[in-house]
Amino acid sequence: MGETEVPGITILEEEQARTGPRRMLLNIGPQHPSTHGVLRLAVELDGEIIVKCHPEIGFLHTGIEKEFEVKLYQQSVTLTDRVDYLAPLSNNLGYCLAVEKLLGLEIPPQAQWMRVMLTELTRLNSHLVWLGTHALDIGAMTVFLYCFRERENILRIFEMFSGQRMMTSYFRIGGLALEPPRGWHRRIKTFIDDFPSKVDEYEDLLTNNRIWMGRTKGIGYVPLEDMLDLGVTGPMLRAAGLETDARKDEPYTSYEKFDFEVPTRTEGDVYARYLVRLEEMRQSARIVTQAMDGMPTGPWKVADEHVVLPDREKMKTQMEALIYHFKIVTEGFRVPAGEVYQIVESPRGELGFYVVADGTAKPWRVHMRTPSFGNLQATPRMVEGILIADMIASIGSMDFVLGDTDR
C-alpha cells in the first residue's frame, strides 16, 4: 500500500485508485486533548467529512475485575474509586449497595441520606469537569476556569469528609467510612446556596452565545432507537426525549424521598445534551439542599459487628470489639452465595455492578457495567458523515471517562 511520509496521516493511494474519491486515514489519539484520556480514533476522511470511524479502546485496561476476585469484599471499595475517577462516590455506592443486597443489610437513614447528598455533589463535580473541558474543546476557555473554581470547593468538601479529594472511598459496606465531620452542614450550605447562581453564570457565557450555538446545535444527532440499540444511557438518552433515570425508576438509597425532576429535551444534539446536564446540576443542587436540611440523626453505619469495624473507643475498652476488628481485617466477612445486579445512575448513565458471591469472604466474580463503555459504542454512528471539527464537539458531548471504559 502506498503511503505518504507524513506522520499520523496515510493517504490510501490504492484505495483511491479503486474507489475514486480521495480518502485520507487520520489517526486521532491515544494521546489527544479532545479525547479526554487515552482513546484512539482512526478516521477515514473524504475532504473534511468523516466517512468511517474506528474507535479503539483498552489503553487504560488495568484488570480491575480480576483484582476484585483476590481481595476481601471490604478491601475492594478502593478499587471502585479508580474506575470512574471523576465520580468515585457513585462507584463506591453501586458496589456497596450490591454487597449490602447480598448480605441483606438495612442501612440507617442518616447513612442513606449522606450517601444521597455526597453522590449528588459527585454528580456536580463530574458535570463541572465535563462542562469545563467540553467548552475548552470548542474554544470557550473562560468556562473552564469558572467550572474548576466550583469543583475545587466540592473537592474540599470531599476532603473534609473523607480525607481525600478524589479517591474518597467514603462509602463502605454497611454505611460510611467515618463519622460526618463537625461543621459539614455550614460548609455545604455555603457552597450549595451559591451554586445555582454559578450555573447562571455558565449559562450567561454559553447558552445564547452565537458561537456556542453554531458549534453545538444540530451536531452529533443520533436517533433514539439507535441509541437504545447501541447501549447508550444517561443524559444522552434524556437529551433525545426519553425520560429514564434509575433514581426515579428503580430508586435506591432512599432517592424516592427526594423531590426532583428528570430534565429532558427532544433535539438529541450536542446543545440538548448541554442543556440537560446544566438542568441536572440545578436538580442535584436541589437534592443536596433537601438532604442537608432534612438530614436524619442516628447511627451512620449498621450495628452488625461482623461486617462493620467497631468504634475506636470500644476497641480500647472491650475485648469483643478488638476481636471483631481483628477478624474483619484479617479474614473479612462471609457473604451468602447468590448473585445481584445493582444499578445506580452515575453522572454518565447506567452503572451496574454484577456481583457473584460463593459464600466466602471474597467475591467469585464482579462485573461492572460501566456507562462510558456502552456510550462509546455509539461514536461511529454519531460522527460518520459529519465534519471532523464537529467530531470534537460530538465526542465531548458524550462525557466518557476512559478509566470507566477500560476498567
Partner 1 sequence: MLPDNLRDRAAAAAVEAFDSGAVTGGKFDRGELTLEIAPARIVSVCGFLKHDQGFVRLSTVTAVDRYPSEPRFEVVYHLHSIEHNERIRLKCRISGENPEMDSVTSVWRSADWYEREVFDLFGIRFAGHPDLRRIMLPEDWEGHPLRKDYPITGSRV
Verify binding: residue 107, partner 1, rule CB under 8 A: no
DSSP 84-144: STTSHHHHHHHHHHHHHHHHTPPPPHHHHHHHHHHHHHHHHHHHHHHHHHHHHHHT-HHHH
Question: Please, which residues have CB within 8 angstroms of residue 319's CB and are 6 or more apart in sequence?
Answer: none
Of 63 and 298, CB closest to partner 1: 63
Of 69 and 256, CB closest to partner 1: 69
Give the interface segment with partner 1, choosing from 72-80, 82-90, 226-234, 257-265 (CB under 8 A).
226-234
Greatest CA span in the chain, whole angstroms? Answer: 84
Of 178 and 337, CB closest to partner 1: 337
Verify binding: residue 365, partner 1, rule CB under 8 A: yes
Distance of CA 259 to the CA centre of its chain: 22
Size of the site for partner 1 (CB under 8 A): 38
Rounded distance between C-alpha atoms, residue 285 and residue 120, angstroms: 7
Site string for partner 1, 291-320 (x = CB under 8 A): ------------------------------
Contact residue for partner 1 among 231, 296, 299, 310 (CB under 8 A): 231
Rounded distance between C-alpha atoms, residue 14 and residue 341, angstroms: 50
Site string for partner 1, 264-283 (x = CB under 8 A): --------------------
Minimum CB–partner distance for residue 337 and partner 1 (Å): 10
Site string for partner 1, 248-267 (x = CB under 8 A): -xx-----------------
The C-alpha cell at 406 is: 477500560
The C-alpha cell at 269 is: 444534539
* Residue 317 burial (C-beta neighbours within 10 Å; 0-12, 13-18, 19+): exposed
49 three-class SS: strand
Rounded distance between C-alpha atoms, residue 59 and residue 177, angstroms: 32
Of 124 and 242, CB closest to partner 1: 242
Minimum CB–partner distance for residue 208 and partner 1 (Å): 33
Question: Please, which residues have CB within 8 angstroms of residue 308's CB and are 6 or more apart in sequence?
Answer: 172, 173, 174, 175, 301, 302, 328
Verify binding: residue 367, partner 1, rule CB under 8 A: yes
**Which residues, numbered 65-94, are part of the site for partner 1 (CB under 8 A)?**
65-67, 69-70
Verify binding: residue 374, partner 1, rule CB under 8 A: yes
Distance of CA 171 to the CA centre of its chain: 16
* Residue 172 burial (C-beta neighbours within 10 Å; 0-12, 13-18, 19+): buried
Contact residue for partner 1 among 14, 341, 385, 389 (CB under 8 A): 341
Verify binding: residue 329, partner 1, rule CB under 8 A: no
Verify binding: residue 350, partner 1, rule CB under 8 A: yes
Minimum CB–partner distance for residue 367 and partner 1 (Å): 4
384 three-class SS: coil
Of 153 and 264, CB closest to partner 1: 264
Verify binding: residue 344, partner 1, rule CB under 8 A: no
Contact set with partner 1 (CB under 8 A) = 57-58, 61, 63, 65-67, 69-70, 101-102, 228-231, 242, 244, 249-250, 338-341, 343, 350, 352, 354, 356, 364-365, 367, 369, 373-374, 376-377, 406-407
